[in-house]
Amino acid sequence: MKTQDLVALLAADVTPVDPHIMSKRFSWALLMGVLGSTVLMAIWLGIRPDLAQVVRTALFWFKLAFPLALAGASLWTCTRLARPGAAVGAAGVAVALPIAAVWLVAALMVRGAPDTERAALLLGQTWRVCSRNIACLSIPGLIAGFWAMRGLAPTHLRWAGAACGLLAGATATVVYCLHCPEMGAPFWAIWYLFGMLIPTLGGALLGPYLLRW
């Protein structure tokens, strides 16, 4: 068989790859994750009764900006790691920046508060359940994120799984903000972040098993 004939035979049944497949899969994953978390939150926890008043304050939007920034950075990380051989690169810096910012604000608040008020700033009223709630709300997003990633071509499976977990945790935290009464940066810097860390670690553990080609 001639080389040209062999090439023609191999290429005969090749179908073109959709150049927008990655954006489509992650768009669906985000939609399904947010919808799943929202329905779960509404049924299980409920929306805070004073939400209409709270959304008029700048502090609420600062609170929401933290998980939104992490969701955007983790989505960027996911799209990088969905490509074969790609490294995290600058997306890792994008993940670190909102964490560093909220830690800085939290440290300044705790340092400037009287000793008797520091524990309340760190623990709030819901520290016992906050991280657990976020982790539970992240389950729909984690499933959707793994579906999206599995249909692509990741090679760094543990990192890809961790990125999916962080994306799920961050979007779940955005949804959880509609329920959570805590309005202090020191609380978010600890318990929100710990809640997002749980699905991130879970994704890192599951990645090598569920994302294998």
Amino acid (1-letter code) at residue 88: V
Q: Average pLDDT, stretch 138-166? A: 96
Between 4 and 29, name the one with better pLDDT: 29
Instruction: Tell me the pLDDT tens digit for each residue of 193-202.
Output: 999 999 999 9
Between 19 and 115, name the one with better pLDDT: 115
C-beta separation of 63 from 183 below 8 A: yes
Percent of the chain with pLDDT over 70: 91
Q: Give 3-state DSSP helix, strand, coil % of the chain, rounded to 5.
A: 75, 0, 25
Q: Which residues contact 20 (CB under 8 A, 6 or more apart)?
A: none
- What b/e readout covers 83-122, taking b as 16+ CB neighbours within 10 angstroms? eeebebeebbebbeebbeebbebbeebbeebeeeeeeebb
Residue 3 banded pLDDT, cuts 50, 70, 90: low
What integer pLDDT is reported at residue 209 of this predicted model?
95
What integer pLDDT is reported at residue 15 of this predicted model?
58
Place of tokens 């709030």: 124
Q: Which residues contact 101 (CB under 8 A, 6 or more apart)?
A: 66
Residue 130 has pLDDT above 90, yes or no: yes
Residue 14 has pLDDT above 90, yes or no: no
Residue 79 banded pLDDT, cuts 50, 70, 90: very high
Average pLDDT of every residue of the chain: 92
Q: Average pLDDT, stretch 63-87? A: 95
What integer pLDDT is reported at residue 131 of this predicted model?
98
What integer pLDDT is reported at residue 7 of this predicted model?
52
